[in-house]
Structure 1
Amino acid sequence: MRSTVSPNRIATHEQARRLLTELPGPRSRALAARRAAAVASGVASVMPVFAAEASGGVVVDVDGNSLIDLGAGIAVTTIGNADPEIVSAVTAQAERFTHTCFTVAPYEGYVEVAEALNRVTPGSHSKRTALFSSGAEAVENAVKVARAATGRSAVVVFDHAFHGRTTLTMSMTAKEMPYKHGFGPFAPEIYRVPGSYPYRDGLSAAQALDRTIEAIRRQVDIGDVAAVVVEPIQGEGGFIVPAVGYLSGLADWCAEHGVLLVADEIQTGFARTGDAFACDAEGVVPDLLTTAKGIAGGLPLSAVTGREEVMNATVEGGLGGTYAGNPLSCAAALVTIDRLTSASMLERARAIEATVRPMLERAAATDARIGDIRGRGAMLAVEIVDGEGDPDAAAAKEIAARMHRQGVITLTCGSDGNVIRLLPPLTIPTDLLVEGVEVLIDALAQVA
């Protein structure tokens, strides 16, 4: 199980899966008991262990077990955990100051991050950026900006969408359990339509787009639509990759009708899909783009970047937040954005797909329960189905649980909970990545 680390990362831990105890071990079990007595039960965790340290492609728990990380904190530690350059930048900033609130006493780091995002996001037009703290906060502010810029109120979202956990972004999210259950009533003027899900709908891009537009027309006057908010690849909904041409067709329709296209790139951004942003695959230039997750190497930061005239449509003071664009997060983001938009990191994401996809395809050739393999770059998924081709959430849950017991961190997703998703840090060594996928394939074989 030994490994050398990727040349892009100097690991501080041996890059190996190592199980010293059963999972969870005694210290994790003790912490679980303390957690049960202190933490609200609505806060769930995927893994039964408690993390102590992490770097490269491993997470080390409090019992000394070293786990293969195929989750990256839900696509957050794309650059690898505790990256030395990020640690150095954050430490240096913390020694200068940790907070002033940019809306009180501004600082250069915020401006530098905005400049970087204006430069690297799709499109060569003049842009402006506002920073926030979480992905949901970015989406919510994108909607605010779109409404202010257009003078319209309606927002179109999609089946299988996930946009966050605030009242507005819950309203935009499709999945009821657990994200919306018991939390209504929800925000008005949200209209949900079908998108493109090639494995399930069998439609071409043009057919899926016609269906989308017809669904919009049936529900709302197009002259009232401020924005269409779309994930270029749907994340929590099941890593659904739309048919080629769907996203660009949607962008054209929005432009024709004066509707702002908002690309939610919170999970897909910053090299995750093998492009700097998932929109790049079809040359789509959104009016507004939201980012978070991989933006700052694990520190909380998010952003809305968009056309100058759109972003400047709100009144002065209409955007902001106490912690928005925290200086420590900005210091981390400057390192992360530079690294994750480099050619080497983009190529690394593509290389991860080139390694993993053939392994999964070989397994699918002999196992009909693998209904679909999809995704791009280091954002890949396997849809698990039963003998009739229907979603099999129970099997997916058991596969993930077996992987967890074998020391591999992985996540499920999908509207039906039947999708295994793989989100490794780009700095994971190839042999460790292969080992993690082999555990997945073995777990699949063991589940009846």
Structure 2
Amino acid sequence: MGNCLDSRQQADGFIIAKAHSEAPKRPDKPPPILTIPPCSEKGRTGKMPSPRSEDEILASPHLKPLLFSELKNATRNFRPDSLLGEGGFGCVYKGWLDEQTLCAAKPGCGIVVAVKKLKPQGYQGHKEWLSEVTHLGQLHHPNLVKLIGYCLEDDNRLLVYEFMARGSLENHLFKRSAQPLPWETRVKVAIDAARGLSFLHSSESQVIYRDFKASNILLDSEFNAKLSDFGLAKAGPTGDQTHVSTQVMGTHGYAAPEYVASGRLTAKCDVYSFGVVLLELLSGRRAVDKEKVGLEQKLVDWAKSFLDDKRKIFRLMDTKLGGQYPRKGALILATLGMSCVNLDSRARPPMDEVLKILEKIPSLKCVSVGSPLDKQTLPSPVSKSPRQLDLPSPITPSPVSKSPRQLDLPSPITPTSRESPLPSHMIPTGTMIIGR
């Protein structure tokens, strides 16, 4: 589940804490009313009336209350060899349930599920548990993890999800024993995650995810990506409000700087976090790596140094890709990532615009960046002012016939009036953009 930005070391990342205007944490029983605004999107399922009591939230027709004894049997008494992972919320175990009755089944029988068991931590833990039930119990989308049921007995609070066979994106990018993700899979994951965030942001009543990071992006057996862990999700601003003032919660390295500094939460904070994950997908580096020193410790700061000259792009890319990626696609993705982490939140693109750009990248073919042809055709750097910079559009193909070997190799930069897939306000200052 989500984490306060504090000095504790958690399994899902380094967290730092800062208190703001919300009421202080209390160890006593939580209040019976939790105000959740309605949230839906045309063509999607789920609308959350407001206010709703805890009983009304738990009575969702989309969720099934489950007995603690059944979940205990389903996970073989929460045995260590059933453990899938551990985070700030608690431990997640693999279990088996009968598909029809949702009662415990023998290992290898029925359906596989992931059972998350809350650590006893008073009011705040219950609040995050209830937030997750609220959002995933009402919002349904192909790129959100499905919540099957819950358990609330005495001090036991558990959540039961669909099982995501390939685990988290974090493990695939950073675990040494993991097989490297190919370029096409990385782009697919980025698109799926963007669809999930775009759905939340464009809902009738906006939802801000607030904890977007690689460990919260789960992959199924076909590498379809889904967002998980809605414990920190928050209703967006309404009416004349420009932001939501709240206690700062999230993960260091992913949290937007203006949110960490002021506690003012907007959808653009999610966009910043998304940009960090894009840079992780490109580079294979963590958002924050304390084993490195200086500028290299924080991914965003390190990545900025490679976008002032197109010839440096290969230094940003994950070496595990073996040079197998389209240069043009990599530049678009890198430039998009840097626009998402712009220090000025107003200059960051909305998620629906980010999604439109990402959906065009798979049409670009891979060319080995380390090939002799690539080295021979590297153009010389040309100084251009930020107003002259443009980005080749992956949408509109050139009318000039090109051979397959020439398709993805950019020509020297020349002034052009072609429309760019990235509007001028989305291009980070000092970024070198490549023409065709």
Give the greater-gyration-radius structure (CA).
2
TM-score (norm: length of structure 2): 0.25
Where relative contact order (Cα < 8 A, 6+ residues apart) is larger, the structure is 1
TM-score (norm: length of structure 1): 0.25
